Structure 1
Amino acid sequence: MNRTPRAALRAAVVLTSSVLVVAGCGGSDDGDEQTTTPESSGVVEGSLDDVCAAGAEEGTLIAWNSEDEEAYRNIFDAFSKDYPGIELESVNLRPDDITQRLITEGAAGRGVETDFLSLTQDKAGPLVERGLLDTDVDWTAVGVAEEHVTASNMVRSERIAVGLSYNTDEVDEADLPSTWEELIDPKWKGEVVVDPRGDQLQLLSLVWGQDETLDYVRRLRETVEPVVVEGATAGLLTVASGENLLTTNGRSAETDEQQGNGAPVEIHYLDVVPAVDYYAAVPAGAPHPNAGACWIGWLYSEAGRDAKQEFAFKGNVDTPEEAQGAEVATIETEEDAALATETAALISDVWAGRS
């Protein structure tokens, strides 16, 4: 069975004390704003308070992100209580589109139209290669731990852990496998959801290697005969309804969100925990770089993490408390990204019966 989820909402909003909608595919509604903004000398040196004070002088923050509109508004409201004086224009774009748009605008000789980027490491590679990220910001000075700053000066802003999300009304946690290998069991036949795009099983290749991962997926298909559902939320909803018992694309954020909606779902981590990391960066030549750095520093702070967890159900812990001792599989290098991308395509072939 193949099911496709509803199309994701695409929106762009200006978040202030009032809300103004702008087009996600373009820049600011006010065509003069970018041309009249004074050139900045860059991000000031100093603490988060120092950077945010400079950001308030700039007055505006343009943020390209893929967050839910309502969640982003709520997170920004929490930010404004700590650092008032900055108007936030949020443009909703997928990570793929963020990368392509920044490259296209740069090639066309147009000025940078954003102060903040949120994207995954594999989408950031082309930006790093072209020198499109600000590498001069001292993130440790604003409170970011050194281990969460990449060599390209991006800040890890969230980590979504992946495990088996299951229906708590239908499955006893004691009956769940403790390893991915133990999932290959006839008792789960026809009750396990997988994503046709390979999500997020492709990340297992970062620990096991590609050959072992593909062998695993083929044996899982043969023994378990999984149900193919595209999209983490779509698959999880079939589990919540009892149509299926568990999903291999059980993301911590979506599971927490459905729990908040009263769904009987829980996440169970195995011996390897795939993790999807999102990174934040200030682009080189940003019109309001201090505002961008202020936003990133605050999102990384305890207050920012609490707000993201409350409104977007997204955390930033290295390993979930329930998964202590497990090995985390996440993209950290361009080589990791290439391996994961190639493996995802090969896994997709397996689910489609082409391999």
Structure 2
Amino acid sequence: MNRKRAFCLAAGIAAVAAATGWSQPTLAQAQAPAAADRHAAIYMYRGADRDKRLLANARKEGKVVVYTSLATKESMPLAKAFEKKYGIKVVLWRSTSDKVVQRAVTEARARRYAVDVVETNGPEVEMMAREKLLSPFHSPHFVDLPPEAFPAHRLWVADRLNFFVVAYNTNKVKRADLPATYEGFLDPKWKGQIALEATDSEWMAAIVKHWGERGTKFFDQLAAARPGVRKGHILLAEMVGAGEVPVALTVYNSEVESLKLRGGPVDWKPVEPVIGRPQGIAVAKNAPNPNAALLFADFVLSPEGQQLLHSMGRVPSSHKVKTELNNFPFTMIDPAVTLDEHDKWQTMWDNYFIKR
């Protein structure tokens, strides 16, 4: 983990611990890591009776605790669908991805094992993998996922994807006028019409890695055009829908789809190179309810769970769900590289677009 992220995470962990007043671990809590070995046997079991045994044991546990950054309007319906199907209560704790990491890491360091499943941004799940909080698991639905959905260590898997696309207000901009590649926005006619999200250094890094010197030249020229900068992908998408920003270059297509479903005058176009960002799901190494944890992960990765995510405007990872939301060429961000090279690209991004 790079120093900047490590420092921020450590500070956040200390703040959470102080605010919540968590006590010192009890002897039983201190012995909890031994449960990891038992959990591994559950998570990796592939016998013919797997599904039947998993459901029976999950119902005995009675609940599953999920930490997620998935918006409430989507995480709640997903939880309710699981509860209706299996009769097992879902306890949701929803916050931003950095807070999900802080809570999970702080609890683990206090030997207070409360979370069963984590579902959040790929780089943040990768942080938890590096903190040794997660366990490999098997799901019969893995066969429906692309190879890019799995990091090499297989401690988590991408259950959905975010794609950086160009969002535009349909009352102000015609789709036919949008260029095919990002370089088209260097045309002077777009000056004062375009905006970026303030934290998208990983998008820039992926384009530069994809285009090489061509990418560096592009960002030199884009910075010189002084595009607007707004913090928050949802906020930026909403500003496009409101007409305050005619065109945004770095909006997640899932956010635009959510606005479209609500009737907003907004749409999106996959402008090359399209950069994808994995959103991951993982089971906790010391989950208090390991069977329910695995069952919930199975459900999210199943065609039923993936279709439900799609119906709410999210981009499913599964090949079983046919959708225009991912039917285009794209390049995936590697969360491990995002963490390792964060400082380098963040400094470049800040010099281009923030410190102006």
User: Cα distance 1:294–1:190, how it changes in 2: closer, same or farther (>3 A)?
Assistant: same
Q: Secondary structure at the match of 2:134?
A: coil
Residue of structure 2 in register with 1:129 after alignment: 130
Residue of structure 2 in register with 1:179 after alignment: 181
**Does the Cα contact within 8 Å between 1:203 and 1:340 map onto a contact in 2?**
no
After superposition, where does 1:1-355 map in structure 2 within 5 Å?
41-42=38-39, 43=42, 45-46=45-46, 47-84=50-87, 86-108=88-110, 110-135=111-136, 137-140=137-140, 145=145, 147=147, 148-150=149-151, 151-198=153-200, 200-209=203-212, 213-223=215-225, 225-311=226-312, 313-316=314-317, 321=324, 324=327, 326-332=329-335, 334-339=336-341, 342-354=344-356
User: Cα distance 1:83–1:191, how it changes in 2: closer, same or farther (>3 A)?
Assistant: same
Q: Secondary structure at the match of 1:280?
A: strand
Q: Which runs of 5+ in 2 are unaligned?
A: 1-18
Q: Secondary structure at the match of 2:76?
A: helix
Question: Matches of 2:21 and 2:52 in 1, distance apart?
Answer: 28
User: Cα distance 1:281–1:184, how it changes in 2: closer, same or farther (>3 A)?
Assistant: same
Give the length in aligned residue pairs: 320
Q: Secondary structure at the match of 1:347?
A: helix
Question: Matches of 1:73 and 1:111 in 2, distance apart?
Answer: 25
**Does the Cα contact within 8 Å between 1:119 and 1:278 map onto a contact in 2?**
yes
Q: CA deviation at 1:247?
A: 0.2
Question: Matches of 2:142 and 2:230 in 1, distance apart?
Answer: 42
Q: Secondary structure at the match of 1:281?
A: strand
**Does the Cα contact within 8 Å between 2:129 and 2:155 map onto a contact in 1?**
no
**Does the Cα contact within 8 Å between 2:160 and 2:314 map onto a contact in 1?**
no
Question: Matches of 1:49 and 1:169 in 2, distance apart?
Answer: 53
Q: Percent of aligned pairs with the same residue? A: 19
More helix by share: 2
Q: CA deviation at 1:312?
A: 5.7
User: Cα distance 1:317–1:213, how it changes in 2: closer, same or farther (>3 A)?
Assistant: farther
Q: CA deviation at 1:99?
A: 2.4
Q: Secondary structure at the match of 1:248?
A: strand
Q: TM-score, normalised by structure 1?
A: 0.79
Q: CA deviation at 1:125?
A: 3.6
**Does the Cα contact within 8 Å between 2:146 and 2:317 map onto a contact in 1?**
no
Aligned partner of 1:139: which letter? S
Q: TM-score, normalised by structure 2?
A: 0.79
Aligned partner of 2:316: which letter? G
**Does the Cα contact within 8 Å between 1:143 and 1:297 map onto a contact in 2?**
no
Q: CA deviation at 1:236?
A: 1.9
Shifted more, 60-69 versus 141-150: the winner is 141-150
Aligned partner of 1:315: which letter? P
Aligned partner of 2:243: which letter? G
User: Cα distance 1:130–1:236, how it changes in 2: closer, same or farther (>3 A)?
Assistant: closer
User: Cα distance 1:329–1:208, how it changes in 2: closer, same or farther (>3 A)?
Assistant: farther
User: Cα distance 1:171–1:49, how it changes in 2: closer, same or farther (>3 A)?
Assistant: farther
Q: Secondary structure at the match of 1:161?
A: strand
Shifted more, 64-73 versus 271-280: the winner is 64-73
Residue of structure 1 in register with 2:15 after alignment: none
Q: Which runs of 5+ in 1 are unaligned?
A: 1-24
**Does the Cα contact within 8 Å between 1:65 and 1:90 map onto a contact in 2?**
yes
Q: CA deviation at 1:169?
A: 2.0
**Does the Cα contact within 8 Å between 2:253 and 2:325 map onto a contact in 1?**
no
Q: Secondary structure at the match of 1:282?
A: strand
Aligned partner of 1:232: which letter? H
Question: Matches of 2:20 and 2:159 in 1, distance apart?
Answer: 25
